[in-house]
């Protein structure tokens, strides 16, 4: 009997997931840079691109919640991020006027 070749194991899945994470981060930050460029240089609004970033993050959070993989620490981090983003947005808005 010949042994079967293992094509995917836990290590392969972990590496794939890490690759997906890096791809998502690269795409999200590239979109944020594009939004900033359009806003500051061209004076355009890019809410459609920003909505894509928010939608993708919301889908991920909803999936984690559905699979019961969210923890209290995650909620604290999200709230801290929202407060920080609001402060940065307020500072940028004041500096532009």
- Sequence-distant (6+) residues with CB within 8 A of 56 are 24, 28
2 occurs within a structural domain: no
Residue 3 lies inside a defined structural domain of this protein: no
**Which pair of structure tokens corresponds to residue 37?**
């460029």
The structural domain count of the chain equals 2
76 and 48 in a single domain? The answer is no
What is the number of other CB atoms lying within 10 angstroms of the CB of residue 35? 19
Q: What is the reported pTM?
A: 0.69
If asked whether residues 60 and 77 sit together in one domain, one would say: no
Q: What is the CA radius of gyration of the chain?
A: 19
Q: 77 lies in which domain range?
A: 71-97
- Residue with the bigger pLDDT between 55 and 96: it is 55
* CA atoms of 24 and 61, how far apart (whole Å): 14
Residue 31's φ and ψ, nearest 5 degrees, are: -65, -40
Structural domain includes residue 23: yes
Percent share of the chain, pLDDT over 90: 52
Same domain (yes/no): 38, 15: yes
Q: Does the pLDDT of residue 1 top 70, yes or no?
A: no
Question: Do residue 53 and residue 75 come from a single domain?
Answer: no
The tokens of 68 are what? 């019961």
């Amino acid at each position: 009997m010949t042994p079967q070749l293992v094509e995917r194991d836990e290590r392969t899945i972990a590496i794939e997931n890490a690759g997906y994470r890096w791809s998502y981060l690269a795409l999200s930050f590239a979109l944020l840079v594009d939004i900033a460029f359009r806003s500051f240089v061209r004076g355009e609004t890019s809410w459609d691109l920003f909505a894509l970033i928010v939608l993708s993050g919301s889908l991920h959070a909803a999936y984690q919640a559905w699979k019961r993989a969210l923890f209290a620490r995650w909620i604290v981090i999200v709230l801290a991020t929202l407060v920080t983003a609001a402060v940065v947005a307020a500072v940028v808005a004041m500096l532009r006027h």
